[in-house]
Amino acid sequence: MDGLELCRNIQQRKIFTKVIVLSGYGDFAYAQKCMTYGVQEYLLKPVTEIELFPVLDKLLDMREAALMSFSHFEQWIDQMEEAIWMMDKARADELLEDGKKTLFAVETNIQLHQRIDDAIKLLRRKLHSREGCRMEPPPAEEDAGMTSTYEWFQAEIERWIQQLSMYRNHERINVLEAALQYIDEHLFEEELTLDMVAGKLGVTPTYFSHYFKKQTSETFVQYRMRKRIEKAKQLLAVPHFKIIDIVAEVGYESYPHFSRVFKKATGYSPTEYRGLLGIK
Map residue 108 onto helix, strand or coil. Answer: coil
Helices and strands: H and E segment counts in the chain: 14, 2
Q: Which residues on neighbouring strands pair with residue 279, listed in sequence order?
A: none
Nearest to 161 by CA among 236, 102, 86: 86
Segment 54-63 mean pLDDT: 79
Between residues 261 and 174, the one the model is more confident about: 261
Locate the domains of the chain by residue range: 3-47, 64-167, 175-276
Q: Do domains 3-47 and 175-276 have the same CATH topology?
A: no
Q: What are phi and psi of 250, to 5 degrees?
A: -100, 15
Q: How high is the pLDDT of residue 169?
A: 63
Nearest to 96 by CA among 150, 49, 51, 52: 150
Q: How high is the pLDDT of residue 219?
A: 93
Tell whether pTM > 0.75. Answer: no
Tens of pLDDT, residue by residue over 221-275, are 999 999 999 999 999 999 888 999 999 889 888 899 999 999 999 999 999 999 8
Tens of pLDDT, residue by residue over 80-134, are 988 888 888 888 999 999 988 888 877 677 778 888 888 888 888 888 776 555 6
Map residue 217 onto helix, strand or coil. Answer: coil
Segment 208-216 mean pLDDT: 86
Q: Is the dihedral of CA 245, 246, 248, 249 positive or negative?
A: positive
Q: Which fold has domain 175-276?
A: Arc Repressor Mutant, subunit A (1.10.10)
3-47 falls under which CATH superfamily?
Response regulator (3.40.50.2300)
Tens of pLDDT, residue by residue over 30-53, are 888 888 888 888 888 888 888 888
